[in-house]
Amino acid sequence: MDAVLPIAARRVLVTGADGFLGRTVVAALAALPDIDCVVALDVREVPAMRRVPGVTYAVQDVRDAGLSTTLKQHAIDAVVHLASIVTPGPGSTREFEYSVDVLGTRNVLEACVAQGVRHIVVSSSGAAYGYHADNPAWIDEDDALRGNAAFAYADHKRLVEEMLAAWRVDHPALQQTVLRIGTILGTQVHNQITALFEKPRILAIRGCDSPFVFIWDEDVTGCVVHAITSGRTGCFNVAGDGALTLPQIAALLRKPLLSLPASLLKLALTVGSRLGVSRYGPEQLDFLRYRPVLCNKRLKTEFGYVPKKTSLEAFMAFKAARAARGPSTP
């Protein structure tokens, strides 16, 4: 799966195009002189203020059986598949998230094969490796993808990667680039991880350093664009150099570190979840203490992309952006 495509992609469709990452990917692809067509696909209508000139916008669910027709209509030769449920909304169910993450990906793959699409770039995640006590200190692409049944996102990313592996065998004409992305930081990023850093104290589990690897959002976009323009295929961890532990993060933020025993945190999360005062349950303990720490050697040496920011530089840029907007920013 490490071959180079003989002909560079010229007509690209992006799923999840109005998501945080999708918007920047669409804009970056549209700016390339060798790309003739960019189709931005999203389940909702993209507001006019967020539309990029020259881009074709289409409203379609990735689970829609008509996706194959859309690919044919625009003569698409490469697909960037970003659509997935990262942070479930209110009322979301595991069944719904599975249908989008896993069944939606299967539908995209089937449509690509049906229409002779030559290349698909898929945004996977370091979460596919899972949050496990016996994770290697640094995880590379040969390590097992174990996910976690307790975390829908990690479980679904594992299932998607298993599907992709099977399709590489059964449908080799559809070449794949799979990007296992670490924790994304950027000037506008707000997610479950960044929420931890905005608390008055940085919560840690006693005896666990919980290292984080970060990747700047512009580097993630850069990796996607590099995959499309170079045709480089394979599975690659996407992370900046180095890692930061929670004690280091607390020091950089000049905030106190609240280090609690795992047993106490587990009890608090269990009670909070049962009382409905917390959206997180006791499974979050493993999410925090057994972080998959991604090695980016292959990203640099085989894929050919060197992140512009290290984990530390990405975190400091994130911190500076937050400080510039003031404490009222969520």
> pLDDT (tens digit, 9 = 90+) per residue, 222-239?
999 999 999 999 999 999
> pLDDT (tens digit, 9 = 90+) per residue, 271-294?
666 766 556 666 778 888 899 999
Token pair in block for residue 245 = 């532990």
Residue 8 has a pLDDT of 75
Residue 306 vs residues 80, 96, 118, 216, 265: alpha-carbon distances, Å: 20, 36, 25, 12, 38
Whole-model pTM: value is 0.92
The pLDDT mean for the chain works out to: 92
pLDDT, mean of residues 119-135: 96
CB 178 within 8 A of CB 235: yes
CA-based nearest residue to 281, from 293, 268, 292: 268
pLDDT, mean of residues 93-115: 97
> pLDDT (tens digit, 9 = 90+) per residue, 158-208?
999 999 999 999 999 999 999 999 999 999 888 888 988 988 999 889 888
Token pair in block for residue 8 = 């560079």
Name the residue ranges covered by the structural domains of the chain: 11-186+215-240+293-307
CB 295 within 8 A of CB 140: yes
**11-186+215-240+293-307 belongs to which homologous superfamily?**
NAD(P)-binding Rossmann-like Domain (3.40.50.720)
Rounded Cα distance, 235 and 177, in Å: 6
Q: Where are the alpha helices (DSSP H) in the chain?
A: 20-30, 67-73, 94-98, 104-114, 152-170, 192-197, 217-230, 246-253, 262-275, 284-289, 297-298, 311-325
